[in-house]
């Protein structure tokens, strides 16, 4: 919801309804269907293959399953795409000592002026 602008045209945006189902229900626990660890070099192909595998599974209560990324750094040289509904990409979280799951854009990536394809992860479907 966007509030009406004040006399100077400033608006305060209302983010109170963001989050899973508007923040009104807890985030569901989705069963892990495949588990990955970082490899040397570009991790994009292995992550995309895991996403594609889970995308091919049947929907159960609205979910196909989760791809779990163990703690570590995953350099990715291209974009990853989740194009099926019900696919969850989950990491090990983060901590103050740097442990956790990190997805890092690696290699030459197009700039916004060169291409509209600059996101690390695309979600559709």
Q: Model confidence over 19-63: pLDDT tens digits? A: 778 888 888 899 999 999 999 999 999 999 999 999 999 999 999
Query: Of 47, 19, 38, 29, which Cα lies nearest the Cα of 121?
Result: 47
Look-up: residue for tokens 């695309």?
Answer: 122
Q: Which two tokens mark 40?
A: 């040397």
Higher pLDDT: 58 or 7? It is 58
- When pLDDT is averaged across residues 95-111 and rounded to a whole number, the result is 78
Angle among Cα 111, 115, 118 to the nearest 5 degrees reads: 60
Cα 84 to chain centroid, rounded = 13
Q: Tokens standing for 115? A: 């291409």
CA 47 centroid distance within chain: 11
């Amino acid at each position: 919801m966007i509030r009406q602008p004040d006399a100077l045209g400033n608006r305060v945006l209302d983010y109170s309804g963001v989050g899973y189902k508007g923040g009104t229900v807890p985030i569901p626990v989705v069963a892990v269907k495949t588990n990955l660890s970082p490899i040397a070099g570009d991790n994009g192909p292995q992550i995309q293959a895991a996403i594609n595998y889970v995308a091919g599974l049947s929907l159960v209560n609205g979910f196909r399953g989760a791809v779990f990324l163990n703690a570590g750094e995953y350099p990715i040289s291209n974009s990853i795409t989740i194009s099926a509904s019900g696919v969850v990409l989950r990491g090990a979280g983060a901590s103050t000592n740097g442990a956790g799951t990190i997805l890092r854009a690696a290699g030459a990536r197009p700039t916004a002026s060169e291409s509209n394809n600059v996101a690390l992860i695309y979600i559709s479907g």
